[in-house]
Structure 1
Amino acid sequence: MLTNLNVAVIGTGTMGEAVIGGLLQAELVQPTQVLAATPRPERRRELSQRWGIATTGDNREAATWGNVVILGIKPQMTEQVLPQLNGAFQTDDLIVSVLAGVKMRQIAEATGHSAIARSMPNTPAQIAEGITVWTASKGLDQARRGWAKIVLSAIGEEVEVEDEKFMDMATALSGTGPAYVFMVMEALIDAGVHMGFPRRIAAQLVEQTVIGAVRYSAQSGKHVAELRNMVTSPGGTTAAALYELEKGRLRTVLADGVWAAYRRARELGGE
């Protein structure tokens, strides 16, 4: 558990605040155990008022104070911020990174600390419904792996993988994944409006259809192809729709998009 541990969050954008909120709302930590670092005074006031936590404009102060330090800065800020933290960590501290495309080796070299959990969450983390893929640096002990699991479970489900190579794959599939779903939803809503539904009703129908389909899939234990076949009557409306989707190469286009995201993730990581 995180009892008696200090949690510092360096970078309080969307994901940084999602971690703060998730930990506090799940009562995994108390506000007195959290310190958030951000350079903007107005942002520090906002976080203090919303969550009742302490804040600072000094990244190194936060790193020195925390036993678990969440790195939530923008990836393009790593060259500026990470060297500030060099020498600030104690041997038993843990860095939890949510930096897209930044490898554990880069973090270790810049900060001088090698106990790292690298993670790739996605945007539903903001409502504690995310999925986070993460991996740990070589030799990280079970206690600190446990700290990482607790922190990341505060923003949804977490999946630990053994090799860092899976992080770029996770970026392409689940990290970017909500955007694919939103685009499909947008297309369905627009089709509903084109048929004559008011946009409000079309959006309600599509949103609940997606929610219901996902929950049904998760609870049924059946392969998604089997679920699709259950909905598809011979010569029916679903069969007609799926014929057009297949003819339009929907599967291929989605796969191409995922592969494009994967290639870009590897490029950003210097590969």
Structure 2
Amino acid sequence: MRTIHMLGAGHMGGAILYGLRQQLKGTDSLRVIEVDAERSARYSSDGFQVSTRLETIEDDDIIVLAVPPQRFAQALMQNERLKRHRGPVISVMAGITLNTLTRELGHCNVVRSIPNTPSQVGEGVTLYYAPKSASPELTSAAQQVFGAIGVVIRVEDETQIDSGTALGGGGPALVAFFADALQEYAHDEGFDAQQAALIATQLLHGTARLIRETGKPAWQVCKDVQTKGGTTERAIDTFIDADLKGIVKAALQAAARRSVELGQ
């Protein structure tokens, strides 16, 4: 199998690396390029081959750009081989447009994507954009990397990557924020921390599985739980009165605007 080089191994790069390690049953085809000494030591102790710069690269190797977008220019300067490589390049950097990537890298064999942190446990969702003219080899590389760590969705319009950054990339934080609220309530009501965490995570896991396996719309599942004048209806009415959906949409829109700003 060709080698996958992870340039930048922070939260997102690490999630992909550990997801790939789990799916590929090892680290033989994975390389980590990381300048942070503490992170480098951790990946090395976990069995990854680690270096501070891109070294030997085969023509068909895959490079995943996972440095913070603010460090992209610096990463280019520190890794001269990056501009000479013409094999598949996959960017997971928020906000950096395909036009910028192709201009700076000097070729068009590039995918722009946004995976999320559940990739670490093989339950990620990745949205990626490649123009219609992209080669089958390029889209195959994206499917190879992201198919190993969860669900993969190719979008037709690059602007959807900004909304996807908010929805898919940041979504786990929004869901975890809601889980934290559930846990806090359970703890306030006398459940211990372990019980509170178990209840909250099982609620999220079980409900997600119910929606997926029954094919019911989320709102239908919500209505199925409620009875007229009952306890759940009172809770949902509280959400509606507070315009919770509006708050969530506003948060996602703010995140999407930030993705656009990063690209500028």
Could you state the TM-score of these two structures normalised by the residue count of structure 2? 0.90
**Residue matched to 1:55:** 50
Structure 1, unmatched stretches of 5+, are none
1:136 aligns with 2:130: yes
**Residue matched to 2:194:** 200
Letter of the 1:47 partner, please give it.
Y
Within a 5 Å distance, the mapping from 1:160-179 to structure 2 comes to: 160-179=154-173
**Residue matched to 1:154:** 148
- C-alpha displacement at 1:65, in angstroms? 7.1
Taking the aligned partners of 1:248 and 1:24, their CA distance within structure 2 comes to 43
- Cα RMSD (Å) of the superposition? 2.1
1:180 aligns with 2:174: yes
The change in CA–CA distance for 1:73 and 1:169 in structure 2 (over 3 A counts) is: same
Within a 5 Å distance, the mapping from 1:115-126 to structure 2 comes to: 115-126=109-120
The change in CA–CA distance for 1:230 and 1:10 in structure 2 (over 3 A counts) is: same
The change in CA–CA distance for 1:266 and 1:16 in structure 2 (over 3 A counts) is: same
Structure 2, unmatched stretches of 5+, are none
Taking the aligned partners of 1:82 and 1:41, their CA distance within structure 2 comes to 19
Taking the aligned partners of 2:37 and 2:164, their CA distance within structure 1 comes to 34
Contact 1:116/1:136 (CA < 8 Å) preserved in 2?
yes
Could you state the TM-score of these two structures normalised by the residue count of structure 1? 0.88
Deviation per CA, 1:104-127: give whole Å up to 9, x if none: 211222121220111101111121
**Residue matched to 1:189:** 183
Contact 1:7/1:66 (CA < 8 Å) preserved in 2?
no
**Residue matched to 2:14:** 17
Deviation per CA, 1:193-222: give whole Å up to 9, x if none: 333333332222122111111111111111
Sequence identity (%): 30
Where 2:46 maps in the other structure, the secondary structure is: helix
- C-alpha displacement at 1:31, in angstroms? 3.7
Contact 2:15/2:117 (CA < 8 Å) preserved in 1?
no
Contact 1:22/1:155 (CA < 8 Å) preserved in 2?
yes
Count, aligned residues: 262
1:253 aligns with 2:247: yes
- C-alpha displacement at 1:251, in angstroms? 1.2
The change in CA–CA distance for 1:64 and 1:112 in structure 2 (over 3 A counts) is: farther
Letter of the 1:266 partner, please give it.
V
